């Protein structure tokens, strides 16, 4: 089972070495670790070169996360692909567990538990709960969950390379929501998604020069979110079986809210915004505002009762003893 690990990097000299070592220390040794440095101006390249021939280093001018990951994909030769952000970590069994699941279940994507946490000086503090302790609830399709109330990060996943070859790589005109746009294409392409509960991905909350944050701002986020929904509308409109998803109340609300943010940003209209305007034009502004208000109230009540705001689709719950062991195996003490 050959796993190619692809890590885009931008000005993360303080943490990229830890992430690379984490991947090299996996119980299933990766077939290759490819780090794409996206025009760093710090000591990142020096840190990466310290690993010698254990890492394939690609250097390019700053072009964003999509372009960096595409550059890695072009040279990857593994059967499976692990996209890893340059500051995140995974339990040492992740590649082994997930590659085995992909193989045994003949799946295209496997996703496992993940947790947001602060990590410093071998101390780890959870933001709140562990996410995706169980699979998505079965009362909605994965695509409907994703467009209504759920999201994922590719760090928690392992992907079959043949799926990426089939649907294509990342769009390079999105600095944000590029993962989501690719995920939608995967689902529309018939990807088989399965869940496993035995690994754990650690999503670092500190920003050490994230490609998605350092290369963008709040306006960029508004623009890319609206562009993402425009692309979704275009894609789903080509498939009769998926068109009803666009009429779902939660999906319509998300599109309406994205359009509202776009219009309030006072940027000039672009041609691709028209599909959002058409779909949102069928929504009652009063009803949408009432829905936004009710969501905020419900979220606040949930936080007071549970200590977190995560939707049930994330299957959130407290950390298990097994997961605590996986964290200690990485050398962290839990706070």
In DSSP notation, 6-69 reads EEEESS-TTTHHHHHHHHHT-SS--SEEEEEEES--SSHHHHHHTTGGGSEEEEE-S--HHHHH
Instruction: Please name which of 68, 77, 332 lies closest in space to residue 200, comparing C-alpha atoms.
Output: 332
Give percent above pLDDT 90 in the chain: 82
Give 85's pLDDT tier (boundaries 50, 70, 90): very high
| Mean per-residue pLDDT, 259-277 | 90
Give 332's pLDDT tier (boundaries 50, 70, 90): very high
Q: Lowest-pLDDT range, 128-137, 279-288, 290-299, 325-334?
A: 279-288
Per-residue burial over 74-87, b if 16 or more Cβ lie within 10 Å, else e, is: eebebbbbbbbbbb
| Mean per-residue pLDDT, 56-72 | 96
Q: Is the pLDDT of residue 302 over 70?
A: yes
Exposed (0-12), middle (13-18) or buried (19+): which is 24, by Cβ within 10 Å? middle
pLDDT at 213: 44
Give percent above pLDDT 70 in the chain: 97
Using DSSP, state whether 269 is helix, strand or coil.
coil
Integer CA distances (angstroms), 62 to 41, 115, 118, 198, 208, in order: 10, 29, 27, 36, 16
pLDDT at 268: 80
pLDDT at 212: 47
pLDDT at 106: 97
Please write the tens of the pLDDT for every residue from 123-154: 999 999 999 999 999 999 999 999 999 999 99
Please write the tens of the pLDDT for every residue from 155-168: 999 999 999 999 99
Instruction: Please name which of 107, 117, 158 lies closest in space to residue 2, comparing C-alpha atoms.
Output: 158
Give 209's pLDDT tier (boundaries 50, 70, 90): very low
This prediction has a pTM of 0.93
pLDDT at 297: 86
Q: Are 84 and 90 in contact (CB under 8 A)?
A: yes
Using DSSP, state whether 169 is helix, strand or coil.
coil
């Amino acid at each position: 089972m050959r796993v190619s690990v692809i890590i885009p990097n931008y000005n993360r000299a303080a943490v990229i070495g830890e992430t690379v070592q984490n991947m090299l220390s996996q119980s299933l040794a990766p077939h290759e670790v490819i780090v794409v440095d996206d025009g760093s101006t710090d000591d990142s390249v020096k840190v990466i070169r310290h690993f010698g021939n254990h890492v394939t280093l690609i250097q390019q001018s700053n072009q964003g996360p999509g372009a960096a990951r595409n550059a890695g994909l072009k040279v990857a030769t593994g059967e499976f692909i692990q996209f890893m952000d340059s500051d995140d970590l995974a339990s040492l069994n992740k590649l082994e567990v997930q590659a085995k699941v992909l193989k045994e279940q003949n799946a295209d994507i496997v996703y496992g538990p993940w947790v947001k946490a602060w990590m410093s000086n071998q101390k780890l503090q959870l933001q709140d709960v562990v996410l995706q302790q169980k699979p998505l609830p079965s009362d909605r399709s994965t695509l409907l969950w994703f467009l209504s109330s759920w999201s994922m990060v590719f760090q928690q996943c392992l992907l079959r390379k043949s799926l990426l070859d089939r649907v294509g790589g990342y769009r390079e005109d999105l600095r944000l929501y590029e993962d989501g746009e690719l995920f939608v294409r995967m689902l529309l392409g018939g990807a088989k998604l399965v869940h496993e509960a035995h690994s754990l991905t650690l999503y670092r909350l500190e920003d050490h020069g994230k490609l998605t944050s350092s290369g963008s701002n709040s306006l960029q986020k508004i623009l890319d979110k609206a562009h993402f929904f425009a692309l979704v509308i275009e894609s789903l409109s080509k498939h009769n079986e998926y068109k009803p998803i666009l009429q779902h109340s939660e999906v319509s609300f998300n599109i309406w809210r994205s359009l509202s943010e776009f219009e309030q940003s006072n940027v000039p209209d672009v041609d691709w915004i028209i599909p959002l305007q058409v779909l949102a034009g069928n929504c009652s502004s009063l009803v949408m505002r009432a829905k936004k208000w009710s969501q905020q109230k419900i979220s606040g009540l949930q936080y007071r009762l549970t200590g977190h705001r995560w939707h049930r689709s994330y299957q959130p719950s407290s950390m298990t003893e097994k997961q605590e062991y996986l964290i200690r195996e990485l050398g962290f003490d839990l706070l």
